[in-house]
Amino acid sequence: MNQPVNTNIAPVTLEQILNAREQRQSVQSKLLKQYQSALICLTINMPGKFKLTKDSIFLFNEAVCAIEPLAQKNNWQILYQLQQELKTGPEGYWVIATRAATKIKKKLIELEQKHPLGRLWDIDVFSPETGYALSRKMLAIEPRACLICDQPAKVCARSQQHSLLQLLTVIQNKITNYRNSHAFEDDR
């Protein structure tokens, strides 16, 4: 369960995760400055030492397959797009030709809430005016619930309320259930 894609990959260290976060913030700042438009950033909520796994790549690809039609349906003009698989996990960026980041964030929260895998995605939307990600709190939307209990996810994460094995089991079950319910689509 949750094995790295390349078995030669060592577990990700805290330092690598923090460096990846800094690098992501640098990319976000550059894109916001260059385009002066709303920015979507996609990562995967994958606990544990291995971030680039078959499961994280599957989750990422499913998120991309959900975001792109949503962009098309809402006539979001994509000015720039980047998707990459890093040792610290897959990342995606979309610059949208609008300054109305709030509208985009609301649509993406709806997507996260409706899609069976949406809880496992981390889709941030950055405002070109402030350079910061819009939060659910800013939009008066309830915080994300924990994968296991009804508490806010951040509360459980901080207190380490649930074991890594519990979290990975829930994630694996969500993925398996989704794959099983969509198996007929893969057979076409």
Per-residue pLDDT tens over the stretch 75-110: 999 999 999 999 999 999 999 999 899 999 999 999
| pTM confidence score | 0.90
Nearest to 24 by CA among 46, 41, 9, 38: 41
Phi then psi dihedrals of residue 178, to 5 deg:
-65, -50
d(CA 156, CA 161): 5
The amino acid occupying position 153 is A
Which pLDDT score is estimated for 151? Answer: 87
Which pLDDT score is estimated for 188? Answer: 41
Domains of the chain by start residue, with CATH: 14-142 (3.30.70)
Residue with tokens 């796994």, as numbered in its chain: 53
pLDDT along the chain (188 residues), means of 10: 61 94 97 97 94 94 96 96 95 96 96 95 96 91 88 87 92 94 62
